[in-house]
Amino acid sequence: MLRIHFAPADLGRVRLARYADAMWETVLSLHQLARPAFFFTAWARQARSRLAAAGTGADVRLLTSLVPPVGYFPDFLTPATTGPAHDLESGIDTVLSTGRRRLRADVTLLAAGLARPEPWLDDLARGHPPVLRELGAALRRYHQAVLAPHVPVNAADVGVDRRTRAQCLLDHGSEALLACLGPALRWNSPVLEAEYPVERDLFLGGRGLIVIPSLYAHRLPITFADPGLPPVLVYPVARRPLWLPDGAARPSEAALDELLGPTRAAALRCLDIPHSTSALAARLNASPSTASRHAAVLRRAGLAATERTGTSVLHTRTPLGTMLVHGPHAAPVSSTWGTT
């Protein structure tokens, strides 16, 4: 069990990160590469194929020796200050700038939990520049091979999840946000409790908490091992069938009509760009109430999303809806709002 203890000042210092963090996603994806949960099995197959084609076996061995499938991995790999959270290069630069005291402490803790630590970890603990440069290169090549192809769709998924959390925060405050972070977390004021591999108490002491969404975190949230670091909580976003196997066919229009009904299928096809209810009704040659009903059904199925902008209500397809229309390799949904 993880227990995060909030002082009164901490509730006013809860922040929701705008993006998934590139370094946390890189590290957590290594867990799914080694021991994929069911949700990640198709992605893991594709990732291994991409890594083999890129000839990056040595990179994977280096990284997995730092990030075991279970247990501790060094805090310095997911630095607390990485500039823009979605910026891989600033994250790697911060990793490579880690001070020797932190390197030595983190690597020593890692090695204590390994049956046979790799000899090169001694050089890493001493901060040898060639080893650090090789670590940076391995992180870049790994990310390019297996994470970069999914970044646009991942960003869209995180955006959908974040809008839901942000609306909760704006409408009801930080306690409501903490209460809606997923089934593995429970808000029992003034303590946020989460299922966790070990017993852990984290006292914020007025430092606040940064809440970071993640697509590669599986089921349970995660935080730094060192309680002295700026407090963060990485939580798994709501998921959909994100990575489908290669070769999955694009559905035919007739099959989509048969599955959803012709009018609702037409509505889903229209929502490649946002539509107001009245604009959607005009495209469907239907009444606004009928268009609203179809949009509501698509929204409940996770195929469409609805946002209120001022006095307007806008509907658009989710990434899952786009994959249903265009197949698993569809381009991400546009993030530009507008009407038609």
DSSP assignment of 106-155 equals HHHHHHHT-SS--THHHHHHTT-HHHHHHHHHHHHHHIIIIIGGGHHHHH
Domain residue spans of the chain: 2-236, 253-326
**Can you tell me which residue has the tokens 């108490």?**
201
Q: How far apart are alpha carbons 279 and 262 in whole angstroms? A: 18
Cis peptide bond N-terminal to 236, omega within 30: no
When pLDDT is averaged across residues 31-57 and rounded to a whole number, the result is 88
Question: Percent of the chain beyond pLDDT 90?
Answer: 51
| Res 64: pLDDT | 94
When pLDDT is averaged across residues 111-128 and rounded to a whole number, the result is 94
Q: How far apart are alpha carbons 172 and 190 in whole angstroms? A: 16
Considering just the CA atoms, what is the radius of gyration of the chain in Å?
22
When pLDDT is averaged across residues 98-116 and rounded to a whole number, the result is 95
Q: How far apart are alpha carbons 242 and 214 in whole angstroms? A: 13
**Can you tell me which residue has the tokens 């998924």?**
157
Report the mean per-residue pLDDT for the chain. Answer: 86
CA–CA distance from 157 to each of 47, 162, 236, 309, 317 (Å)?
A: 19, 9, 11, 20, 11
Q: How far apart are alpha carbons 292 and 170 in whole angstroms? A: 25
Question: Residue 108: how many CB atoms within 10 A of its CB?
Answer: 13
Q: Let me know if 311 is exposed, middle or buried by CB neighbors in 10 A (0-12, 13-18, 19+).
A: exposed
Describe the crossing of helices 129-142 and 88-96 by its angle, rounded to 10 degrees.
160
Q: How far apart are alpha carbons 274 and 280 in whole angstroms? A: 9
Q: Is the pTM of this model over 0.85?
A: no
Task: Read off the pLDDT of residues 148-183 as tens digits, 9 standing for 90 and up.
Answer: 888 777 787 788 888 888 888 988 999 999 998 888
We find that the CATH architecture of domain 253-326 is Orthogonal Bundle (1.10)
Ramachandran assignment for 180, one of left (phi > 0), alpha (psi -120 to 50 degrees), beta (any other): alpha
| Res 239: pLDDT | 66
Main-chain dihedrals φ then ψ at residue 284, nearest 5 degrees? -90, -5
Say if residue 241's pLDDT is above 60. no
Main-chain dihedrals φ then ψ at residue 327, nearest 5 degrees? 95, 175
Among the residues of the chain, which ranges form H helices?
Answer: 22-34, 41-54, 57-66, 88-96, 100-112, 120-125, 129-142, 151-172, 174-179, 253-260, 262-270, 277-284, 288-300, 319-326
